[in-house]
Amino acid sequence: MDSGLKSDSYVSFIATDNFRGGQLGAEHLGKLLGGKGNVILMRYQVGSASTEEREAGFLDALKKHPDIKLISSDQYAGPTRETGYQAAQNLLNRFGNDVNGIFCPNESTAFAMLRVLQDNGWAGKVHFVGFDASENLVNGLASGQIDALVVQDPINMGYLGLKTLVAHIKGQPVEKRIDTGVRLITRDRMDDADARELLHPDLSKWLKP
């Protein structure tokens, strides 16, 4: 589930279409920028299959905007919010006056970038698309400091993962690849019923004793 292996020797892989998630981020950022400007991609970590696919999807979709210049795409945030904060600070110290848009491919990179934008008075002044839906990122979306979040469906991922496992144990055929869904949520759509299910999942109905 969730993060892929460099092998085809599995019964079924249940996960987000991460490449498509990265494409959604680039498409929306390109729309926000009107097809021109300077953009930063702050990567997560070498060897993380899911975020590497998101980054690849972002770069693929960005090619459709020839007047958008990618001014940095080789900096890695590392495994923690703290390493991410330092990487984001270094990037904005270098490019802060020139950057128009930013994409971060997971929760820790997006939150680290958000903190740096807030600490330096840049939040809300630079177009910013993040990935995942923690409380901090959802608050950033609501306040206008994040323009959009690309959001997975972890509850569906868990549900389909267990359902597929049980089916396989029972000897039933299962699909080799199961896409659990990904969508982009903007501030003006975050109160839609389906968006709220992803941004504010009610776990109590699943965790009752």
Q: Return the structure tokens found at 99.
A: 């950057």
> Which one-letter amino acid corresponds to residue 14?
I
Is residue 209's pLDDT more than 80? no
Mean pLDDT of all residues in 27-41: 98
Helix (H) or strand (E) holding 13: strand 13-15
CA distance readout (Å), 96 to 11, 108, 123, 124: 46, 20, 11, 13
* Contact (CB, 8 A) for 32 and 127: yes
Q: What is the pLDDT of residue 126?
A: 96
The verdict on residue 4 lying in a domain is no
The verdict on residue 160 lying in a domain is no
Q: What is the pLDDT of residue 167?
A: 98
Cβ neighbours around 78 below 10 Å, total = 19
Is residue 137's pLDDT more than 80? yes
The verdict on residue 209 lying in a domain is no
Split into its structural domains, the chain has a count of 1
The verdict on residue 173 lying in a domain is no
Is residue 131's pLDDT more than 80? yes
C-alpha 30/C-alpha 28 separation (Å) is 5
In tens, the pLDDT along 87-125 reads 999 999 999 889 999 999 999 999 999 999 999 999 999
Please, what's the b/e burial string for 91-110 (b: 16 or more CB within 10 A of its CB; e: otherwise)? bbeebbeebbbbbbbbbbbb
Q: What is the mean pLDDT of the chain?
A: 95
Q: What is the pLDDT of residue 191?
A: 94
> Which one-letter amino acid corresponds to residue 208?
K
Instruction: CATH number of the domain at 127, please.
Output: 3.40.50.2300
For strand 148-152 and strand 182-186, is the pairing parallel, antiparallel, or unpaired?
A: antiparallel
In tens, the pLDDT along 140-158 reads 999 999 999 999 999 999 9
The verdict on residue 143 lying in a domain is yes
In tens, the pLDDT along 11-26 reads 999 999 999 999 999 9
Q: What is the pLDDT of residue 208?
A: 74
Is residue 63's pLDDT more than 90? yes
C-alpha 25/C-alpha 43 separation (Å) is 13
Helix (H, G, I), strand (E, B) or coil at 161: helix
Please, what's the b/e burial string for 41-77 (b: 16 or more CB within 10 A of its CB; e: otherwise)? bbbbbeebebbbbbbebbbebbeebeebebbbeeebb
Is residue 44's pLDDT more than 80? yes
The verdict on residue 6 lying in a domain is no
Q: What is the pLDDT of residue 71?
A: 97
Residue 99 domain boundaries: 13-154+180-200
Q: What is the pLDDT of residue 147?
A: 98
The verdict on residue 2 lying in a domain is no
Q: Return the structure tokens found at 38.
A: 């300077």
The verdict on residue 170 lying in a domain is no
pLDDT category of residue 199 using cuts at 50, 70 and 90 = very high
